[in-house]
Structure 1
Amino acid sequence: MARVSVEIENHIARVTLTRGDKMNALDNAMIEAIVEAGESLKTNDDVRVVVLSGEGTAFCAGLDVSNFGKFAGEDPETLLMPRSHGAANLFQQVCMVWTQVPVPVIAAVHGVAFGGGIQLALGADIRIAHPDTRLSVMEMKWGLVPDMGGMAVLPKLVRSDVMRKLVYTADPVGALEAQAMGLVTELSDDPLAAAMELAGRLAQKSPSAMRAAKRLADFAESGADEAAVLLEESREQAALIGKPHQMEAIMANMQKRAPDFK
């Protein structure tokens, strides 16, 4: 059965986890399908925004427990240590691929986002959650540590003590508390509708400026020194000024019409 669907319309790619009967739990096929979906969008110039969601009652309940039995018979070094996707292994790429997609990624989160599920959501630029959503960095429950990209992104979102408590305890937190921590961007009674509305607005912005903004944000968060960030600001801006997308943005604003970016 298909684990992930990708639908592209009006420059918005809707990526949906389609294992709703299993709360979109991550088995090997789901992991591979998520990574494949993300990789396919990295070079799609028609896509301006991605919306990531899960069908059924949950965004993603984390690793399918049946996988524990499969992993028990494999050498963990052989399974985890090879770098199959740049700096990441296959499991880490579930999160990291969305940071590498060159356009904004919005996660619409509902039900639960546990373990690998929260790490998947953290790969997005923006997370919109239903108020009743529960989130947990759950690996410690199983005697493990986060290993699906979470430790590459968590320190950018929350304070060190908050991150450590989440990792050490594996306690679930509600969406309101998660928003206060920095894990959730905003709350909505219909997170998918809110994500699609936001995606529609972002898709009307200059595509080249939006991609530049994501690159610049990534660079600013990379730990580069102030001088390097200021230079990168200037470099990205110089590449935009006077170009067709920027000129169309100016004309559309002045003429009070929707832009038409070619």
Structure 2
Amino acid sequence: MTHQPLQTLTENRVGFITLNRPDRLNALTEEMLLLGIETLKGFATDPSIGAIVITGAGRAFCAGGDVAVMETGAEFGPAGTPVEAQIEILRTWHEFPRLLHSIPKPTIAVINGVAVGGGLGIALSCDLRIASDKAKFGTAYAKVGYDGDFGTTWQMTRLLGEAKAKELFFLPDIISAEEALRIGMVNRLYPHGQLIAESTKIAERIGAGPSISYRYMKENVAHASTVGFAESLDREAETHIRCSQTEDHIEGVNAFLEKREPVFKGV
């Protein structure tokens, strides 16, 4: 199945998505993105999956748009495609990062190599980013006369602040994994040879956790970035009480009192 531009696997309550164009540094294609959208929608409603991991095959996470396709003028449809139609094509592709950001399950980018342009946007749209010490990051848009897509503008502004986001857009230098960790672009960094094992441990730990609680945590954090303190408190009151009605809450309390590990079921 190495010819498939996107590969999937489910194991130990984790859904894995691998961008699979290693010869092109996993540069994005329409087929890859549409398969990714379909896969994420399926993972979102599958009760056997508690966490989702996205990574890249080979030595890259994702190089974003394929410059070879850009050269042909057919990146967003065949030559001659009207501008409005091209806009709608890109909006369709943007469903991929939107789902990574919004589906009710934790999403984890395991960044094994270069993540630039749209690839950076995909990584930033995940809830967590775990990187190899060999990973490299960059916006790259200014180098080809673009401005930004795949959520890079929104995500970098919120993660890094306006000043740093502008710097990384205006001066599209490649930054190291260590610098990405320092500025808060990634959550954790591991030696390259340990990346898969360590990130899988984290994904499986989250996958086995209280999925209803994680859903509300994810929603509440996103909500908190757009509303005031009072509104956030109001929402916490609602979701906290909803969590208190779950079997997972009861199991967590009992496990704590019995000094054992809880066995959550997502109900």
The TM-score with structure 1 as length reference comes to 0.92
Please give the secondary structure, in 2, of the residue aligned with 1:216.
helix
Question: Is 1:31 the equivalent of 2:33?
Answer: yes
CA distance in structure 1 between the partners assigned to 2:128 and 2:218 by the alignment: 12
Partner of 2:251: 248
**Correspondence for 2:163 among 161, 165, 181:** 161
Q: Which amino acid aligns with 1:65?
A: V
Please give the secondary structure, in 2, of the residue aligned with 1:89.
helix
Q: Which amino acid aligns with 2:228?
A: D
Alpha-carbon displacement from aligned partner over 1:61-115 (angstroms, at most 9, x marks no partner): 11112321213723332211x3x8xxx8123223221012211111110220011
Partner of 1:61: 63
Partner of 1:92: 94
Please give the secondary structure, in 1, of the residue aligned with 2:47.
coil
* Residue 36 of structure 1: how far off its partner (Å): 2.2
CA distance in structure 2 between the partners assigned to 1:143 and 1:172 by the alignment: 17
Partner of 2:212: 208
1:116-195 equivalences under 5 Å are 116-189=118-191, 190-195=194-199
* Residue 204 of structure 1: how far off its partner (Å): 2.7
Give the aligned CA root-mean-square deviation in angstroms.
1.7
Partner of 1:218: 222
Please give the secondary structure, in 1, of the residue aligned with 2:232.
helix
* Residue 195 of structure 1: how far off its partner (Å): 1.5
Could you tell me the percent identity over the aligned residues? Answer: 27
5+ residue gaps, structure 1, are none
Q: Which runs of 4+ in 1 moved over 3 A?
A: none
5+ residue gaps, structure 2, are none
The TM-score with structure 2 as length reference comes to 0.90
Partner of 2:236: 233
Q: Which amino acid aligns with 2:244?
A: I
1:107-122 equivalences under 5 Å are 107-122=109-124
Partner of 2:84: 77
Bigger mean CA deviation after superposition, 149-158 or 225-234: 149-158
- Contact in 1 for aligned 2:25/2:59 (Cα 8 Å): yes
* Residue 228 of structure 1: how far off its partner (Å): 0.6
* Residue 192 of structure 1: how far off its partner (Å): 2.3
**Correspondence for 1:41 among 39, 43, 48:** 43
CA distance in structure 2 between the partners assigned to 1:167 and 1:75 by the alignment: 28
* Residue 231 of structure 1: how far off its partner (Å): 0.3
Counting matched residue pairs gives 256
Partner of 1:2: 4
Please give the secondary structure, in 1, of the residue aligned with 2:60.
coil
